[in-house]
Amino acid sequence: MTENCIIELKNISKTFDGDTVAVDGVNLKIRQGEFVTLLGPSGCGKTTILRMLGGFEVPTTGEILLNGKNIAELPPNERPINTVFQKYALFPNMNVYENIAFGLKLKKLPKPEVEKKVRRVLELVDLEGFEQRKITTLSGGQQQRIAIARAIVNEPQILLLDEPLGALDYKMRREMQLELLTMHKELGMTFIFVTHDQEEALTMSDRIVVLSQGKIQQVGRPEDIYHIPRNAFVADFIGETNIFHGRMTGSRQVNFLGKDFSCSEAYPAGTEVEVVIRPEAFDVCAPCTGMISGEVISCVFKGTYYEISVLDEDGKNEIMIYDKKALKPGEKTDLSVQPKNMHVMLYDTHKNHFAMERDGVLMDAYFSPWDARLSDDAEEGSLRGNIVSIIYKGDHYSYTVHTEEGDDLFVNDEYLWNTGDYVSIVIPASKIEYNRMEGEGAL
Ligand code: ATP
């Protein structure tokens, strides 16, 4: 990676107004010529990272190395980097040619050279002959192509694309995705693309960077992100998925949905895990012939497949499957799944730490997400905050609550709450473990 790494983010953080942490300790290396996508839900920090790369924001801490040199404080016009925004930001009073040539004229390039360059980029974006057209007479897709042409005509080393297809309708968006890919190949330029659309990220990228709350959750090839997610957030955010809580019963044996299954991953017996199974990974089989028995709750036609919801025999877990054949609600069915089609991840509870005063001493407190519940009575629980994420896991919901103290804590609850709800976390006193705090913050 180091030899052809064009840009490196080294421990980059960005805090706004003293307390909004938009980007939190991001480390990332991007290769020359790569197509990298920053993907994550609204507010996860994608645009802030892009704006720091473009020079529109200065990081609070950390370095941005371009070919090994720190450019974190260099103004945008001194960086070999250009940005395409979601809103095309074209000059409406100029025609297509003048819009694209604007930057080149500022650089005082000779007229024949400007003409040659403008013609070449118009060819690249498939709009030859549009030189004299007024911007206001172009469709949304055409305007976005002109915005891209204007950004690449200066031949930047890196092109930043901030949700550039967000304003286009579905068909035009699909078309432009393919065109962008072709352009990327022809130009050999490094593309850093921002989207919250996981399908778009999977289609276009060499590598995807999945972000949540300012932190990188996983960096990897689209196939790896989809099939081998590192945690429940990534599994849930990328595509439809089933996530079941389970426990290892042997090195490659896992128990979930009340049954033992062989799996590919080896963890010690007793380890708490989560099992990810994509809806298309299940095989539907006749009753009493599969590993999991259940009853069909719903079946919805989706064009090339049916989306079928099955309730397991204990009536606790809802399983989502995709199949070519329809099943009737109320019908009994069995399901099976091969070890290679399930992904077993360690269950991550290490984050549930918070500071709490006990007998006048500030302690590091911990609770298991299973031992707490949520309440809408602010006085009932000992911690208060807003729900920032919800992941459905078959028989319960996994919530992340951002507390007033600034901690992100996990709580498993069978009841459905909404993102943004203000809740208190109720933890029985006997279920809180305390450790004396060390260093900073200790009383
Ligand atoms: P979206 O997909 O909605 O554009 P995003 O992932 O690009 O979201 P950012 O725009 O980077 O997210 O914002 C990350 C966080 O930083 C948000 O909480 C946002 O409100 C905050 N933020 C961004 N810019 C500023 C600013 N100039 N001042 C204060 N807070 C900001």
Q: Are 34 and 180 in the same domain?
A: yes
Domain membership flag for residue 443: no
Of the ranges 51-60, 137-146, 295-304, which one carries the lowest mean pLDDT score?
137-146
Q: Are residues 338 and 384 in the same domain?
A: no
Ligand 1 binding pocket mutation candidate from 44, 162, 196, 216 (most atoms within 8 A of CB): 44
* Ligand 1 contact via 304 beta carbon (within 6 Å): no
Cα angle for residues 277, 223, 410 (degrees, 5° grid): 50
- Rounded to an integer, the average pLDDT of 218-225 is 96
Q: Domain total for the chain?
A: 3
Whether residues 245 and 267 share a domain: the answer is yes
- The better pLDDT of the pair 219, 170 is held by 219
pLDDT tens per residue across span 173-191:
888 888 889 889 988 999 9
- The residue whose CA is least distant from atom 31 of ligand 1 is 16
Q: How far is the CA of 45 from the centre of ligand 1 (A)?
A: 6
Task: Answer yes or no: do 60 and 205 share one domain.
Answer: yes
Nearest ligand 1 atom to the CA of 196 is 2
| Residue where one domain finishes, among candidates 346, 378, 394 | 346
Across the beta sheet with 283-285, what order do the strands follow? Answer: 283-285, 332-336, 292-301, 306-312, 318-323
- Whether residue 442 is predicted with pLDDT greater than 50 in this model: the reply is no
Q: What is the pLDDT of residue 350?
A: 67
In a domain, 176, yes or no: yes
Are the CB atoms for 236 and 391 separated by under 8 Å?
Answer: yes
Assess if residue 420 is contained within a domain: yes
CB 127 within 8 A of CB 135: no
Per-residue pLDDT of 38-90, as tens digits, reads: 999 988 999 999 999 999 999 999 999 999 999 998 999 899 999 988 776 78
| Residue 49 alpha carbon to ligand 1 centre in Å | 10
Residue identified by tokens 């004299």 is: 132
* End position of a domain, from candidates 313, 346, 379: 346
Does residue 442 sit within a domain? Answer: no
Residue 48, ligand 1, Cβ within 6 A: yes
Compute the distance from residue 314 Cα to the ligand 1 centre, in Å.
43
Atom 7 of ligand 1, residue of closest alpha carbon: 47
Q: What CATH number should be reported for the domain holding residue 424?
A: 2.40.50.140
**Residues 276 and 320 placed together within one structural domain of the fold:** yes
Domain enclosing residue 392, as ranges: 352-436
